[in-house]
Amino acid sequence: MDKILVIGAAGQIGSELTLALRNIYGGENVFATDIKQAPQDIIESGPFQILDVMNEKNLIHFVIRNKITQIYHLAAVLSGNAEKLPLQSWEINMHGILNVLDIGREIGLKKIFWPSSIAIFGPTTPRVNTPQLTVMEPTTVYGISKLAGERWCEYYFRKYNLDVRSIRYPGLISYKTEAGGGTTDYAVEIFYDAVKTHSYECFLKEDARLPMMFMPDAIDSTIKLMEADAANLTIRSSYNLGGIDFDPKELAAEIKKHIPDFKITYAPDFRQKIAESWPASIDDSTAKKDWNCSYTYDLAKMTDVMLKETAKKLGK
C-alpha cells in the first residue's frame, strides 16, 4: 500500500485534498503535515504532524521513518503576499520544491505532485484561450518561482526518471479553508461578505476576467492526473487546466440572483496589475487528451453551493 505525505495539509487545497486521499488510500496511509495546526477533521481522520518543508533533514527523516512512497507538496506563498516579500517568497517557494524533488530522487519515490499556476504566464502571453505551450514571461515573483519550479520538475523527470506530475491551477474557489494572499482571492472573499453584509468591495476592476475553478473539480482533477497511466502523460512541466472564467461583475450578477440587494463596489489595488498580466481563459485540450480531465461546476452551480455552504459555516 502506498504511503502518502501531504505537505501544506492545512492550506486551501491541502485541507480538502488530504481528506479525499484518505477516502481512497485509508486514513492511516495519508500523513498530513504543515507548519501550522490543521483543521479538526484532518487531525481526527489520520496522522498529522507539524513539519517544515524547508528543513530538509527533518523532511527526509520523516519520509524514511514512515516509508513514504508519494509526496503532494502544496505549500507556497501566493501571488499577492509574495510581492510584499519577494526574496523570502522566492526562497520558500523554490527551496521547498527542490527539497522534495531531491528527496524523491534520493529515496526513489514513486510519484510527486506539485501545483503550478496560471501565474507562470505574463503580459506577453496570448490572454484568451492561452495554449499549453506559449510565451511565458511572468512579472510576479510567485509566477517566476512557479515557472522555475516547472522547469525543475521536468528536469528531474528527464534526468532521474522521477515521476513528477503537476497542474497549473487557475484561481481556486472553496468554502472550507480560505485562500491566503492570492490575486484570485476576491472570488472567495465575495461570498463571505455577500452572506455577512450583502455587499463587497472588490480589489480588482469589474472586467478583470480570470480562469477559476471550484475546489471539488480541482481535487478530482488532481487525483485523476495522479492515477493516470504514466505512458499517456506528454507534459512533465505542468498541465493547463481551464475550469470556468468570469469577471467580478459577472460573479456579482450571479450572486444577485440569490441575494437581490447584494451590492459590489470596486477599489482596485496592486493586484489589479497582476490580474491584467494573467490569462483570461485557458486552453486545456492537452489535459483532456492525455488524462481525460473534465469539470462538474459552471458559474451558476458553483455560486449556488458556495452561498449555501458559506451561510452554513457562518451560521446564517
Catalytically active residues are: 142
> Among residues 13 and 307, whose Cβ is nearest to ligand AKB?
13
> Among residues 14 and 46, whose Cβ is nearest to ligand AKB?
14
CA distance 124 to 137: 7
> Which residue is at the shortest CB distance from ligand AKB?
182
Contact region for ligand AKB (CB under 6 A) — 39-47, 85-93, 164-172, 251-259?
Answer: 164-172
Asked whether 150 and 116 are in contact (CB, 8 A), the reply is: yes
> Among residues 112 and 275, whose Cβ is nearest to ligand AKB?
275
Judged by CB under 6 A, the number of residues near ligand AKB is 12
CA distance 200 to 258: 15
- Mapped onto helix, strand or coil, the DSSP state of residue 27 is helix
- Which residue in 15, 33, 117, 281 binds ligand AKB (CB under 6 A)? 117
Contact region for ligand AKB (CB under 6 A) — 114-122, 130-138, 159-167, 288-296?
Answer: 114-122
Closest approach, Cβ 179 to ligand AKB, in A, equals 6
- 143 is a contact residue toward ligand AKB (CB under 6 A): no
Closest approach, Cβ 21 to ligand AKB, in A, equals 21
Backbone angles phi, psi at 111, to 5 degrees: -150, 150
- 79 is a contact residue toward ligand AKB (CB under 6 A): yes
> Which contacts of 248-254 are long-range, i.e. CB under 8 A and separated by 24 or more positions?
248/186, 248/187, 248/190, 248/202, 248/204, 248/205, 248/206, 248/207, 248/208, 249/206, 249/207, 250/299, 251/187, 251/190, 251/299, 251/303, 252/190, 252/200, 252/202, 254/299, 254/300, 254/303
- 182 is a contact residue toward ligand AKB (CB under 6 A): yes
CA distance 125 to 115: 20
- 184 is a contact residue toward ligand AKB (CB under 6 A): yes
Closest approach, Cβ 257 to ligand AKB, in A, equals 25
Classify the phi-psi angles of 21: left when phi > 0, otherwise alpha if psi is within -120 to 50, otherwise beta: alpha
> Among residues 25 and 266, whose Cβ is nearest to ligand AKB?
266
Alpha carbon distances (Å) from 152 to 97, 113, 120, 164: 9, 13, 14, 10
> Among residues 106 and 207, whose Cβ is nearest to ligand AKB?
207
- Which residue in 21, 38, 118, 208 binds ligand AKB (CB under 6 A)? 118
Asked whether 181 and 93 are in contact (CB, 8 A), the reply is: no
- 18 is a contact residue toward ligand AKB (CB under 6 A): no
Binding site for ligand AKB (CB under 6 A): 78-79, 117-119, 142, 169, 171-172, 182-184
